Amino acid sequence: MIKIDIDHTTIDQLPNKENDYFEFKSSKVGANKDSLATKLGAAVSGFANSGGGYFIIGVDENTGNADGGIPLMIGRQPLQDWVDAMIHQLVEPTPKYSIKLIEDSRGRGIIKENAAVLIIGVPESHIGPHMMDGRYYIRAGAHTVPAKHFIVEAIRAKRFSGKPKLSYTFRLKPSDEDILQLGIVAITNAPAFDVIISLDPLPRYLKPRAQDFPIKLPLIDQNNPFFFDVSRYNNSEDSFGNNIALNINYCDLLQNDYNENLTIGIESTPPIVIGNKHNELIKALGAVEKAITKLGSFSGNPKNQNVDKSNL
């Protein structure tokens, strides 16, 4: 996933070669408007379905330097108006996008008179999948390619499940209520894949099991939280402590990366959950997450089987 900020994008900020988030097309593409329209539609579909990115026309595909630019007029129509019309005509549903025309090469190649480098920024979409001419496209490395059926279904499922979001809670171990467990839980319906959990510094109780960290899990979702022993409850402040950095890395179905950096400790723990009764807390955490979001808008198995996964 990439943050699209086209207003502050200049040609000297472009990478020297294509990657997951940047696709280059030379000025020669602009000579054939039918070919340009096809490549434009496929790229917008691909980026919208794959975490966002920039489609740039008028640069050398091997260096990212301006190689002349494309005409500011397509027939009798201004270039930007033509691009708007093509995106709305070709891509269904039409995703959000932004357009910028660059006429100053800043010494990075040449832009001819009455020409420009065309940059189209497409943010990650949550209303996909997006289709162009009867096909769905995704980004595969530095290329835009047709998506296979199962990928299309995954994108469609993502539309209804949203982004994964992991948080944490503490509970007393169901089989031994003198043991305090730390739980990593999903607070949205979307599953989190390739989860990596680390603690820094490692609490005293866990130091004998330092070889188990970071903990790696293939999946965490609302039906599969992950709990592990972190201290004895009666001396948890000493054996677990405070100001512990909990870092959780994970990805979604489309391999978009997410990261949670949280400071946790016994003094600032959420309510202690007794046994398996964590579902109500997960719902509460989800409600808090939704409220915060609303305000803001206004791998492998664990290395060692000693890591406790009991009573999930």
**Is the pLDDT score of 294 beyond 60?**
no
* Assigned token pair, 263: 């400071």
Q: Which range scores top for mean pLDDT: 152-156, 283-287, 295-299?
A: 152-156
Task: Record the tokens describing residue 172, joined without a space.
Answer: 């007393």
CB 212 within 8 A of CB 237: no
Which domains are present in the chain? 6-159 (3.30.950), 166-297 (2.60.40)
Per-residue pLDDT, 70? 94
Distance CA 278, CA 141 (A): 40
> In sequence order, what are the beta bridge partners of 170?
182
- Model confidence pLDDT, tens digit, residues 33-57: 899 999 999 999 999 999 899 999 9
Please tell me whether the overall predicted TM-score, pTM, comes out greater than 0.85 for this model.
Answer: no
For range 67-96, the mean pLDDT: 95
Q: Are the beta carbons of 302 and 219 closer than 8 angstroms?
A: no
- Segment 140-188, tens digit of pLDDT: 888 999 998 888 888 877 665 568 899 999 999 999 988 999 999 998 8
- pLDDT at residue 255, as a whole number: 78
- Give phi and psi for 160, each to the nearest 5: -95, -20
Higher pLDDT, 278 or 221: 221
Residue 295: the pLDDT is 44
Region 246-262: what's the mean pLDDT? 91
Q: Quick check: 227 and 174 in contact, CB under 8 A?
A: no
The DSSP code sequence of the chain is: -----GGG--GGGS-SS-BTTEEEE-GGGGG-HHHHHHHHHHHHHHHHHTTEEEEEESB-TTT--EEE-EESEETTEEHHHHHHHHHHHHEESPPP-EEEEE---TTSEEE-TTEEEEEEEEE--SS---EETTEEEEEETTEEEEPPHHHHHHHHHHHHH----EEEEEEEETTEEEEEEEEEEE-SSS-EEEEEEEEESPPGGGGGGGGG-SEEEEEEBTTB-EEEEEEEGGGHHHHT-S-EEEEEEEE-TT--EEEEEEEE-GGG--PPEETT--HHHHHHHHHHHHHHHHHHH-----S-TTS--TT-
pLDDT of residue 102 exceeding 90, the answer is: yes
Q: What is the arithmetic mean of pLDDT over 76-84?
A: 95
Residue written as token pair 């340009």: 36
Place of tokens 């490395």: 141
Say how far residue 89 (Cα) sits from the centre of its chain.
28
